[in-house]
Structure 1
């Protein structure tokens, strides 16, 4: 049965080409989801890959290979007393491309390296980096002494381990910017300098400006009060030159520092010092002293001594030229075939007699020709016998006289160094010929070079090198792991709390303000983990009230916590810097530390009518009491006000002296011999009983650890509960904590009392405009003694105001 479809009324669709279906938009939601997953996966993958690559690079960079040579560019990784002396965001930005190490860490690195058999040497670049816009603290004399001692220990350890030729210890530079840098370089086995460099070893000296005449001209009177004739802080305002007591004290101080400098250089270079006569190259200008108007002129044939011609009766007038007798004699010498001039290399060359006479007539001084003949033929003349036994020749340079060869044989190394100082600065060639340096070469021939991305640049001998700062990071991690394992195994430990006081002592909450330092001492003493406090000082004094605040904090920390406080002196711990450490159980100073200055001085300016007339200013005055009138700078002190002014100064001195007597357990006579404002070096202070021991900060660490262990023994004897006592001969693990602990940004926000505190923490201190200006001016006129030791030309003044 078939089906039948009825016909449709719709006309049939015409046949033609097939059309494409209409465009359909994709599902954007689904597509975006897939894309995001791919993007997230890519970001995660790239992050993980970057982290892994960075981890590999860091691991490679911190790997210490065998036979590693440590490198140190001193001007880029410079030395400071305390880290982040200007803290906060502005401090981080101001440091720029430079990094810093505290002196404590720098010496610790060298101590680690001396016991590390993977380290075979140290190469230091002492030249300036020339990074613009960066302030780099200059090394002080005492700091250099601490570094030299650490380098000597490094050298001794490597010599014992590898022999005299199995290690490398080199200091190189383009030129020495100061004599302190050379003093540091002498601790190395090899000292290298570029050919055009110079060596400014002048010795120690100082120049201080005195403002008395300027103040008189301006109409300003300075009313000064001081107890102690050696206290010199006010003399620059009241005198036109050094007062006699002050000059006597400073002369002794500088002599002690200069003895330490010259002895250190002479001891280090004694084996390689050469003849001082090598200081006289042919090109130098010399003065020849002639006796009986005779001049010796060596006649040379083929470079050998052929005869000795004597030109007698040599009287020369600068305007008339050479006498005819001399001209005839020179002609006779020329006719005989002799030569009167030689090359600077010491070889004879044919000379035209007419040229010789022309040159002689131009100079118009016979002494000039004799001088040149002496310079060019110095060695030949030394071999020839003078015709007259009474004839003498002397070679002098200005006021300094160089010794003869016979005198030089009897000279010690120290005397030779002092003679060279009298003729400084020395050129690179002179430094080489006299033995003050070992090589005249360029830095890139000594200091390891390579591509910036290389982690371990190779030396010229093919040894791997590693920057000192990177070695510090690597060894810090190793030491932390090693200390943790030792403590877990039952080894004893001692925790040393470090507190710093650097710069002028001021009141307030600045970086090293009295409140901040006192708070740090309190936190350190209260910390249960800390066993002993190490108080590091590098200060020339400052405000009396601020000094007393810090003194009380030191005393309180010892009495309340029972923890000993050990003081370590840096470049300077004088006046208030010494005052606040008097209660410390032990005081350790460097030989070159400047300390003492036990005295009080204050100065009060008075603006006279002359000053007002000069500047065209007048003052209207209204006072209700005499005290208010005398408090004004427009009125000088007199009568009872002046007596009270001097009496308060004397009272402060009595307090200062009593603090020293109580803290140091000295009699009044002992303190008085060291007091009255006298300034001493560490060596002198040791003999006076002002300090207990000579040494650097790590010597102070050893004293602190020994003191802590001794205290434990004493406590264990009286304690009912027997504690574990340190075993004799066992070296404890020493840990360090620095106070005050840096605050996190969240702590700054939560503890701040206002926006001022927040901005102060970010900026790195609460210094106002007056303090900033004081620092800017002080950068030109402070620490004249340190500048003198460093061989830099600058005029500076003391920082202390009262103490």
Structure 2
């Protein structure tokens, strides 16, 4: 027994010692990685843009990025904020002679791509060049690249140009086989987020709205490319509709690219443009690294005491704290409150990039936006999405600015409660019995169907939520509630459509929103401050590591079925509270 305790004690001491060593190593790595050493830019350099990571609103606070620590990818990501800032800096940096867009796949929404594309168009006013090259041009990647002075593709590459499509996965058949019935309570003819669980195909109303907004997105897409490449929009439609581009030489024939080149040939051209000898290395700086240079844009040296707060609200809306990728009502409300009560903050820009979520959490944030509106100017800048709950939290602002291809609207409420009686009774042979002290004490029990009285109660709650939603929008947009109801009903709109309906005030980007906020506050000299504070690596390392490992395991086991798993998982989230959520994700390849 004595030997046993000695062994246990030695094991515990060893574990403690090992833990201490690992912590010290981790601290050292973080200290080294987060040292923010200044990056020098050589003369005659190019700024390289390769956007292969998902683009968040803000660059993640992760000093371990790029280190591959503990077997994780640690991919160095850059947020939209730094992408735009770096392109702006490069415009006036004498050491940067041009931009090289080096892409194959671009992981960003359409409005995000729009903001980057417009920044590149502004960069060209400097007279500097932009060269784009790719082995594979998806439609989204090509839309960005189309503004370049020269667009090249690998001679054996792939060029996608076939039009937009939207596909929805329907789960009703699978749920029927499992013996699960989705009991839906909703308001809104077009509120189609529930359709995958109760139908086998799109409803007529949903098909109508998807056709409408997809057509609006596609029209903007073709118009932008036509303007950049000086090709008639109708001609582009015909080219895509007949799939006339099947090989790289077809893209050259129809003037969508300027040449078929291998990468070494493109590099040689870049050397010529930067007066670099062929035997010498091309001087370049990656856009993520360019953040660490001491180069500043024209307005980066402002020292004014006046501030404009940019409050980022990105991701699904839920109660609680949330994180940098989800909107927690508590965290965003605190940020709004802090900015409102800070006398140095003269105006607020609320950056919304959200498909919605909990209607309760949305209302909590709406209240803080309304209080801020009553105290000082607040302008909403919409990203890829500002729909349903995302629009809910926006509608009380002084004004709303969106991109033409922002997806917004979806003013509606729904709730889903599963009836799993057949699954339990018929499939599993499980039955339930019990007692209750009140008629509705077990309201929401998933082991049985709703009674007519229970369904009426839930419908009344959803109706009230929709009434609150439309009233808030009507008050904020200075419209009648009847009018908002007529364009609401859960219908999705693009920014270009929404401006005609009065749901959006003007088209533009986050910089336009900042300028609008400054004008509203009657200030010309100001500094930008960002809220809420990003989570430090120490706060999120453990949780992030656990989530990363879990995600990797699931993706490995489920493969292509991982997206279906995610969709099924979202059902459980929808069952907790009435939802103001977009019906689906819009993915344009």
What is the SS of the residue equivalent to 1:535?
strand
Structure 1 Cα separation of the partners of residues 294 and 237 of structure 2: 39
2:370 — aligned with what? 555
2:126 — aligned with what? 157
Tell me if structure 1 keeps the 8 A contact 2:41–2:285.
Answer: no
Shift in CA distance, 504/779, structure 1 to aligned 2, threshold 3 Å: farther
Tell me if structure 1 keeps the 8 A contact 2:61–2:534.
Answer: no
What is the SS of the residue equivalent to 1:707?
helix
1:433 — aligned with what? 253
2:136 — aligned with what? 175
CA displacement at 1:198 relative to structure 2: 1.0
CA displacement at 1:689 relative to structure 2: 0.6
1:697 — aligned with what? 510
1:230 — aligned with what? 190
1:544 — aligned with what? 359
Q: What value does the CA root-mean-square deviation take over the aligned residues?
A: 3.6
Shift in CA distance, 539/769, structure 1 to aligned 2, threshold 3 Å: farther
Task: Establish whether residue 740 from structure 1 lines up as the match of residue 532 from structure 2.
Answer: yes
Shift in CA distance, 193/772, structure 1 to aligned 2, threshold 3 Å: closer
Structure 2 Cα separation of the partners of residues 81 and 744 of structure 1: 17
Shift in CA distance, 692/556, structure 1 to aligned 2, threshold 3 Å: same
CA displacement at 1:420 relative to structure 2: 2.9
Task: Establish whether residue 142 from structure 1 lines up as the match of residue 103 from structure 2.
Answer: no
Structure 2 Cα separation of the partners of residues 513 and 58 of structure 1: 33
1:676 — aligned with what? 489
Shift in CA distance, 602/58, structure 1 to aligned 2, threshold 3 Å: closer
Structure 1 residue runs of 5 or longer lacking an equivalent are 1-50, 129-136, 159-166, 272-411, 451-455, 710-725, 727-731, 749-757, 792-803
The C-alpha deviation readout for 1:320-354, integer Å capped at 9, x for no partner, is xxxxxxxxxxxxxxxxxxxxxxxxxxxxxxxxxxx
Shift in CA distance, 224/172, structure 1 to aligned 2, threshold 3 Å: same
Structure 1 Cα separation of the partners of residues 438 and 552 of structure 2: 35
1:585 — aligned with what? 398
Shift in CA distance, 740/449, structure 1 to aligned 2, threshold 3 Å: farther
CA displacement at 1:127 relative to structure 2: 2.4
The C-alpha deviation readout for 1:553-611, integer Å capped at 9, x for no partner, is 2122333xx22211111000000000011111111100000000011111111012365
Structure 1 Cα separation of the partners of residues 50 and 66 of structure 2: 24
Task: Establish whether residue 474 from structure 1 lines up as the match of residue 293 from structure 2.
Answer: yes
Larger radius of gyration: 1
Tell me if structure 2 keeps the 8 A contact 1:657–1:671.
Answer: yes
Task: Establish whether residue 763 from structure 1 lines up as the match of residue 533 from structure 2.
Answer: no
1:415 — aligned with what? 235
What is the SS of the residue equivalent to 1:80?
coil
Shift in CA distance, 761/429, structure 1 to aligned 2, threshold 3 Å: closer
Tell me if structure 1 keeps the 8 A contact 2:312–2:532.
Answer: no
Task: Establish whether residue 517 from structure 1 lines up as the match of residue 517 from structure 2.
Answer: no
CA displacement at 1:84 relative to structure 2: 2.2
What is the SS of the residue equivalent to 1:624?
coil
Task: Establish whether residue 685 from structure 1 lines up as the match of residue 505 from structure 2.
Answer: no
Q: Taking structure 1 as the reference length, what is the TM-score of the superposition? A: 0.60
Tell me if structure 2 keeps the 8 A contact 1:62–1:474.
Answer: yes
CA displacement at 1:241 relative to structure 2: 1.4
The C-alpha deviation readout for 1:388-410, integer Å capped at 9, x for no partner, is xxxxxxxxxxxxxxxxxxxxxxx
2:47 — aligned with what? 70
1:604 — aligned with what? 417
Q: Which moved more, 1:588-597 or 1:185-194?
A: 185-194
CA displacement at 1:179 relative to structure 2: 0.9
Match of 1:496 among 308, 315, 318: 308
What is the SS of the residue equivalent to 1:501?
strand
CA displacement at 1:475 relative to structure 2: 4.4
Structure 2 Cα separation of the partners of residues 564 and 766 of structure 1: 41
Tell me if structure 2 keeps the 8 A contact 1:208–1:784.
Answer: no
Structure 2 Cα separation of the partners of residues 117 and 665 of structure 1: 48
Shift in CA distance, 497/79, structure 1 to aligned 2, threshold 3 Å: same
Structure 2 Cα separation of the partners of residues 153 and 503 of structure 1: 29
Tell me if structure 2 keeps the 8 A contact 1:199–1:424.
Answer: no
Structure 2 Cα separation of the partners of residues 551 and 667 of structure 1: 19
Q: Which moved more, 1:147-156 or 1:106-115?
A: 106-115
Tell me if structure 2 keeps the 8 A contact 1:582–1:659.
Answer: yes
Task: Establish whether residue 531 from structure 1 lines up as the match of residue 531 from structure 2.
Answer: no
Structure 1 Cα separation of the partners of residues 519 and 305 of structure 2: 12
Tell me if structure 2 keeps the 8 A contact 1:179–1:200.
Answer: yes
CA displacement at 1:432 relative to structure 2: 1.6
How many residues are paired up? 529
CA displacement at 1:151 relative to structure 2: 1.0
CA displacement at 1:474 relative to structure 2: 2.0
Shift in CA distance, 510/771, structure 1 to aligned 2, threshold 3 Å: farther
Shift in CA distance, 228/96, structure 1 to aligned 2, threshold 3 Å: same
CA displacement at 1:498 relative to structure 2: 1.6
CA displacement at 1:71 relative to structure 2: 1.7
Tell me if structure 2 keeps the 8 A contact 1:87–1:763.
Answer: no
Task: Establish whether residue 100 from structure 1 lines up as the match of residue 77 from structure 2.
Answer: yes
Shift in CA distance, 669/768, structure 1 to aligned 2, threshold 3 Å: farther
Shift in CA distance, 238/558, structure 1 to aligned 2, threshold 3 Å: same
The 5-angstrom pairing of residues 189-338 of structure 1 reads 189-270=149-230
Shift in CA distance, 538/472, structure 1 to aligned 2, threshold 3 Å: same
The C-alpha deviation readout for 1:444-500, integer Å capped at 9, x for no partner, is 3224799xxxxx9958597743332333322456769x726xx4xxxx664221211
CA displacement at 1:779 relative to structure 2: 8.1
Structure 2 residue runs of 5 or longer lacking an equivalent are 1-31, 556-561, 571-581
Structure 1 Cα separation of the partners of residues 67 and 463 of structure 2: 41
Shift in CA distance, 598/151, structure 1 to aligned 2, threshold 3 Å: same
Match of 1:508 among 320, 323, 328: 320
